[in-house]
Structure 1
Amino acid sequence: MVENQRWLNVLAHAVLILGVIVVALPVYIAFVASTHESGAFMSGVIPMLPGHNMVETYSAVLRGGVSSQISQPIWLMLGNSMIMALMIAVGKIVISITSAFAIVYFRFPCRGLAFWMIFITLMLPVEVRILPTYKVIADLGMLNSYAGLSIPLIASATATFLFRQVFLTMPDELVEAARIDGAGPMKFFRDILLPLSKTNIAALFVILFIYGWNQYLWPLLITTDPSYTTIVSGIKRMTDVQDGTPMWNYIMAVSVLAMLPPVAVVVFMQRLFVKGLIETEK
């Protein structure tokens, strides 16, 4: 039995508050930097209170043209990242859940070998196979397209493994009951497995959405058309100033805006996300 001592509660809250401060401080400094003039942080003294240029900075960023390297408005880059992240998250879930369903509930030769072949692809991330992947995408004419941004990243061995483990916990009586009621495989999948896997799907969606949103190397490689630039690549291009000093207030403003969609997804799906991570009983 764990004793409920007051000093333990105080210590636990102090550790949690310290952790929040450590995590939130860089975000706060980025926000403060976005509200000051560009040279405010070049003097060696970091301002800790917001300045008076917030409306002007964010208005200029949303209009676009604040950097010689970035001519399109920021909302266009945010839209590109949103489309890519949604396509990656939804595509990974659809492919993974159907492949896990086939591996668990269908009997076919070399079923175990098929699963381990999928699992072995974890050792081949996109950074390892980036040259052949780029060659395939270029030959298919998918450069500077949303399909080229998302399809090479759309398969996930980890999600397949997680859905397989979820399906293995399902009682065999569900399969027998569905078979007695005359339900076919797809009806069993649609009406029984999908509702029972709702929290797991939500948890994976949050993780995969953030994974797709934070992609940097692949979008930077295959997009030469500015209209397909993602927000992460755009931030990097804003810092690449040949002659002069980067406009850090605009860069920090774009960074703050880039954090909002992932944070909104996590906040909106927080309950399902936590439930999907800790739920073991069906």
Structure 2
Amino acid sequence: MVENRRFGNLLPHAILILGVLILAFPVWLAFVASTHDATTIINGQIGVLPGPDLIKNYTQTLFHGTQGATREPVLTMLTTSLIMAVAIAVGKIVISLISAFAVVYFRFRFRMFAFWLIFITLMLPVEVRIYPTYKIVSDLHLLDTYAGLTLPLIASATATLLFRQFFMTIPDELLEASKIDGAGPLKFFKDTALPLSVTSIAAMFVIQFIYGWNQYLWPLLITTQDSMQTIVIGIRKMITTQDALTEWQIAMATAILAMLPPVVVVVVMQKLFVKGLVETEK
């Protein structure tokens, strides 16, 4: 029997609500600022309610951009960031699934050496190997291309480790049953391993999508055209050193728009994550 502790739950709920308000209030202020004109923001006259310029500011942000350092419409930057984030997330998951499956289910020489070699790369992020990576991309003429934005970032030791640990939990009886049915490695991978990996794939997609979406240093180095810059770089270029030259209403609208795709991915993949857990338990 579950006890009815109505008043005992008030304190935890109050703390949670307070935490949500603390985290959400700056985002709300950014949204409010994006609905006012530049003069109101510079003079510090914005309140806590949206202003009259919401449609005007967001239309200019999406389809016209700013008049400052970056003149590209935010819609173009959002598209570039979305392509980059999806390509990185999907690429990391595909490569990691294949490599983890090979390490667990195939017996070949130096198998564990290859795995630990992949694992050691966790200590070598892009920032450490930035020059040789840039040199290779430049020599291959991949600057200002989607391939240059994504290919150097699609390998993931973290995802390989996660999928390897998950594959090791799959009962050997499933593998033996697949062999008895005449299924080869690829059929076992497609019909058994992949469906059971839905939960891990969903969690990894969310993590890697946000990782790709928030990339700043790598796109900054290999993109010289405004049409190839990502949303994170665009926000930075909109904010100049002099407040009078910064179109704060456009910058705030861009920041709000930049938060929407990761939020959508988290919400959608959260449903898939829960569905994967329920189906796995069945």
Task: Name the TM-score, length of structure 2 as normaliser.
Answer: 0.93
Corresponding position: 1:58 with 2:55: no
DSSP-derived class of the 1:183 partner: coil
DSSP-derived class of the 1:11 partner: helix
Contact 2:198 2:273 survives alignment (8 Å): no
Equivalent in the alignment of 2:36:
36
Quote how far apart the aligned CAs of 1:23 are: 1.6
C-alpha spacing 1:278/1:209, structure 2 compared with 1 (3 Å) = farther
C-alpha spacing 1:34/1:277, structure 2 compared with 1 (3 Å) = farther
Equivalent in the alignment of 1:209:
209
| Cα distance in 2, alignment partners of residues 275 and 127 from structure 1 | 36
Contact 1:61 1:254 survives alignment (8 Å): yes
DSSP-derived class of the 1:165 partner: helix
Quote how far apart the aligned CAs of 1:140 are: 0.8
DSSP-derived class of the 2:245 partner: coil
Quote how far apart the aligned CAs of 1:54 are: 0.7
Quote how far apart the aligned CAs of 1:75 are: 0.7
1:76-104: per-residue Cα shift (whole Å, max 9, x none)?
Answer: 11100010011000000000000000000
In structure 2, stretches of 5+ residues that fail to align are: none
1:7-41: per-residue Cα shift (whole Å, max 9, x none)?
Answer: 33111111111111122111111100101111323
| Cα distance in 2, alignment partners of residues 211 and 279 from structure 1 | 28
In structure 1, stretches of 5+ residues that fail to align are: none
54-63 or 66-75, which moves further after superposition? 66-75
C-alpha spacing 1:219/1:10, structure 2 compared with 1 (3 Å) = same
Task: Name the TM-score, length of structure 1 as normaliser.
Answer: 0.93
Corresponding position: 1:24 with 2:24: yes
| Cα distance in 2, alignment partners of residues 44 and 73 from structure 1 | 27
Equivalent in the alignment of 1:268:
268
Q: What are the residue-to-residue correspondences of 1:1-282 with 2, within 5 Å? A: 5-44=5-44, 46-240=46-240, 244-274=244-274
Q: Percent of aligned pairs with the same residue? A: 63
C-alpha spacing 1:168/1:146, structure 2 compared with 1 (3 Å) = same
| Cα distance in 1, alignment partners of residues 156 and 280 from structure 2 | 22
| Cα distance in 2, alignment partners of residues 243 and 167 from structure 1 | 54
| Cα distance in 1, alignment partners of residues 52 and 249 from structure 2 | 12
Quote how far apart the aligned CAs of 1:112 are: 1.4
